Amino acid sequence: MTEANQDWSAQETEAIKERILSALETVIDPELGIDIVNLGLIYDIEFNPEDGDTVIKMTLTTMGCPLADILTESIHDALREVEEVKKVEVKLVWYPAWTTDKMSRYARIALGIR
């Protein structure tokens, strides 16, 4: 945006959040082989258009999941592709607890879950 046009519309912000979500779909859970979006691990995306700060609220399939650091690093790598994102913070949340109900139809079919 040019300096004269610093006001971001809600529509522009939502479009950026959609691009962030698309980038997160490239982050694959190494144990399950499915992306973290379809697994239902992403709970919220907060994007501040003024400074590019982005907060990803996500959970893991289990509280003691050893992949937290790997997934966090992969999220940082994926969001480098979204030019408006300047800073990323990944916050792990445990409520509501993750269940297979949060998975997309695609993820359930891929993992053989009904």
pLDDT, tens digit (0-9, with 9 covering 90-100), for 55-73: 999 999 888 888 899 999 9
The average confidence (pLDDT) of the chain is: 90
Encoded tokens for 32: 């399950």
Q: What's the confidence (pLDDT) of residue 18?
A: 95
Q: What's the confidence (pLDDT) of residue 10?
A: 84
Q: What percent of the chain has pLDDT over 90?
A: 78
Tell me how far apart the alpha carbons of residues 113 and 53 are, in angstroms, rounded to a whole number: 36
Tell me how far apart the alpha carbons of residues 7 and 24 are, in angstroms, rounded to a whole number: 26
For residue 1, pLDDT over 50 is answered with no
Kindly state the average pLDDT of the residues 84-94. 96
